[in-house]
Structure 1
Amino acid sequence: MSVRKRAWTTPGGEAKTAWVVDYTDATGKRRLKTFKLKKQADAFAATALVEIRAGTHVADSASVTVAAAGKLWLASVDAAGLERTTAASYEGHLRLHIVPYLGEAKISALTIPAVRAFEDQLRTAGRSPAMVRKILVSLGTLIADAQERGLTNRNVIRDVRGRRGGSDRRQEKRHRGKLKIGVDIPTREEIKALVGAVEGRWRPLILTAIFTGLRASELRGLRWSDVDLDRREIRVHQRADRYNEIGSPKSSSGERTVPAPPIVINTLREWKLACPRRWTGKRDADGNPVLVLDLAFPNGAGKVEQLNNIVRRGLHPAWIAAGVTVETDQVDADGHQVLAPKYSGMHALRHWFASWCVNRREDGGLALPPKTVQDRMGHSTIALTMDRYSHLFPKADEADEMAAAEAALLG
């Protein structure tokens, strides 16, 4: 490997100089790389020499652009048979966020400053901290795939994440703040009003969400075969994604059995008699369609219900009927102010279930220990449960404890 100065004259008569690193890579192919400054050439030569000895060096000319590497990555994602929702998220991150800013860059030439500039561009474009983090995770997975293909020798995203440690997540938590009763989590009074107001085909679904904490995807994929009315238990073995495709729960911890209170069981007994059945595509000897009782909360055809239908036609009207609303800037045809539900999504009910699990019995809760709460919520780790809900667990009376300790110490 040599570093030498090259001088030449342009057709216009201008004299120019540059520094060239002349070396042979691990495959025995001669490579030339040009730099404006000698210190840049020396730095590259020192790094390349170590990488060649380690068998990890990839010349820029042997690499591809981020956009090209992204196509290879998505092809491997499809071949791996990942869940359709996950594959769609990867494709969206690549098409909407990564390619517009980094698509033409050589993947082997990505540096920490380039990644930091990319982050700044995403934030300036209005991406949330959570979205920026997800995009970087996708970019890191893309680069890892390219690294395995020999298109780059390092994963710069891992270098960035390793340097920062957990600072990004801590910053995101500070930005998001703790879940608050009456803001993110419905109060007991609001839940009581909702239970009294919800009716019709949405009542069994919403009551099950309130008192079991199942995710919306788990409710949409719940089968009657997993509802044990005699043992008062609901088993979670599958879920429906946003494309209405049935798949496994989010993690192995998502597979669980959750006890259900009498109000849920009794409502489900009644609903089972009226629940729409799914046509199997077959007909009996008399030509009648053969129907089966499959999903617990299907649409009118017995198939997976759309999430937006549950929210817009079921949950929101129930909140409004319960009087749990906020004012909007809109007015109706009669000049009355339009009210909107205070809680917009199904996840608020899941948050309430968690708070119900941890609250003291004298406050109407179950007073369950953290590990049991984790199991019932289907969280992958106890850390996830505690990070999200630790502030809801009852605290000891520290003032009395301090007074007793003082008395014991000072007599």
Structure 2
Amino acid sequence: MSIRKRVLKNATVYIAQYSTSEKDARGKRRRYAPSFATRKEAVAHLATVAVDISKGVHVPASKSITVAEAGRNWIDACGDLERTTRDGYQQHLDLHIEPYLGGLKLSALTVPTIREWQDRLRKGTPAPGQEKAEPRTADMVKRVTGSLGSLLADAQERGHVGVNVVRSLKANRRRGKERRAERRAKGKLKIGVDIPTPAEIDAMLKAADGRWRPLLLVAIRCGLRASELRGLRWEDVDFKRGELHVRQRADAYNKIGPPKSESGERTVPIPPTTLAALKEWRLKCPRRDTGRKDAHGEAIGELHFAFPSGAGNVESYANIQQRGFDPILIKAGVTARKLDDDGKAVHDEHGKPVLVAKYTLHALRHHFASWCVNRKVDGGLELPLKIVSERLGHSNIAITSDLYSHIFPRSDDSAELAAAEGKFG
């Protein structure tokens, strides 16, 4: 390895020469000579090359491709993923990665480069060619950094880059104080803020009627995800045993696929009131067109989805939330003030605050979890953590614990402590 100074007409460059164990067509070791504006940069490059060669991960700059090219390869490799997941990755690439890093070669990416990119996203610094940009939230920066890491992992497997700098970044930073700060920022789920109170649930059910009441009951008492509710079939409801089987889900494009994870395929008991509502709803449920006609020329329909659209097909999430759940919450008085982009309350033409639905449909799943873990004396089921995790369909018990451990009944109840203290006082 050596550095050679070369004086050009308009500038002076420093050429970092080195060779690798690779052989060219003539059987000679391959030589590389990238140039740099300063000697310091050339020295730093050779130091990095020496380390990479010793680890067997060196990829010469001439073999490296740009982040934009690697992004296209990565998206192509995501063809087997769900469309919603693939579209999310494409959005990360188009809006947050390529505008800032697209023109850089993978070999030029360093940990400081990634840190600077993250800072620009957080501050809303425009990318080259952009006039303005909005600051990204901490959660968005975290997610797009994860996508960049996946992009680099794909490029690494293809031999286009030797080191995944995002993995190095995470190894150095995703522990200790930063991890604790991230947890503090995220906060715990709160009753009455993220999780509906029992009184709010009662008000919702009193306000719900027609096709929405059985759907809400299943969401509240069985804890299904919205995608699982939309994909639930009548054949998955066992009226004799009083249980339902989660075997599939509908994605954002109404496409039916397997549950979110292997643990998502599960059996959940149905309480008596919910079961009775389902039996009644089954008699009125819209049927799906089979494309066949009877002897009188009438279309033959069949029961298929438990909570379908008017035509018996998969119902969209937007319809359930906007046409069903939101009006029910407004009617029940389970509302919150509408806020503008600055966090200030919005008022109508008469000066009264504008009220909107307080929760999304997913909040009912949180309520189901709290109902499962609460004490029986408080109206809950008081189930062990493992059973709660299984009923929610979480991929592992740690997810359930992280989300809901703070609402489990405490063993140091003050009344019990007082009684115990009296025995030895």
TM-score by length of 2: 0.88
Q: 2 CA distance for matches of 1:391 and 1:199?
A: 34
Q: 2 CA distance for matches of 1:76 and 1:263?
A: 47
User: What is the CA-CA distance between 1:180 and the residue it aligns to?
Assistant: 0.9
Q: 2 CA distance for matches of 1:210 and 1:71?
A: 42
CA contact (8 A) 1:66 1:107 kept: yes
Residues 273-292 of structure 1: per-residue CA shift (max 9 Å, x gap): 11011112333455332321
Tell me the equivalent position of 1:88: 87
Tell me the equivalent position of 2:327: 317
Is 1:100 the counterpart of 2:99? The answer is yes
Tell me the equivalent position of 2:292: 282
User: What is the CA-CA distance between 1:107 and the residue it aligns to?
Assistant: 1.1
Structure 2 regions of 5+ residues with no counterpart?
24-28, 125-134, 339-345
Structure 1 regions of 5+ residues with no counterpart?
none
SS in 1 for 2:103: coil
SS in 1 for 2:4: strand
Is 1:205 the counterpart of 2:215? The answer is yes
Q: Among 2, 19, 23, which residue is 2:19 paired with?
A: 23
Is 1:154 the counterpart of 2:171? The answer is no
Q: 1 CA distance for matches of 2:194 and 2:107?
A: 44
Q: Among 149, 164, 171, which residue is 2:173 paired with?
A: 164
Q: Among 350, 374, 381, which residue is 2:396 paired with?
A: 381
Tell me the equivalent position of 1:339: 355
Cα-Cα RMSD: 2.3
Tell me the equivalent position of 1:218: 228
Residues 335-356 of structure 1: per-residue CA shift (max 9 Å, x gap): 865432222x111111111110
Q: 2 CA distance for matches of 1:124 and 1:295?
A: 46
- Structure 2 counterpart of 1:331, one-letter code: D
Residues 16-68 of structure 1: per-residue CA shift (max 9 Å, x gap): 35253243462443210223444543343243234335442111121111001
Q: 1 CA distance for matches of 2:374 and 2:382?
A: 5
The within-5 A match list for 1:4-403 is: 4-10=3-9, 16=12, 18-24=14-20, 26-27=22-23, 28-78=29-79, 81-125=80-124, 126-166=135-175, 169-284=179-294, 286-328=296-338, 329-331=346-348, 338-343=354-359, 345-397=360-412, 401=417
Q: 2 CA distance for matches of 1:267 and 1:9?
A: 84
Q: 2 CA distance for matches of 1:56 and 1:406?
A: 69
Q: 2 CA distance for matches of 1:9 and 1:242?
A: 58
Q: 1 CA distance for matches of 2:55 and 2:203?
A: 67
CA contact (8 A) 1:358 1:366 kept: yes
- Structure 1 counterpart of 2:121, one-letter code: L
Q: 1 CA distance for matches of 2:410 and 2:202?
A: 25
Q: 2 CA distance for matches of 1:392 and 1:133?
A: 27
Q: 2 CA distance for matches of 1:3 and 1:98?
A: 35
SS in 1 for 2:195: coil
Q: 2 CA distance for matches of 1:256 and 1:9?
A: 71
Q: 1 CA distance for matches of 2:5 and 2:34?
A: 12
Identity, % of aligned positions:
51
TM-score by length of 1: 0.91
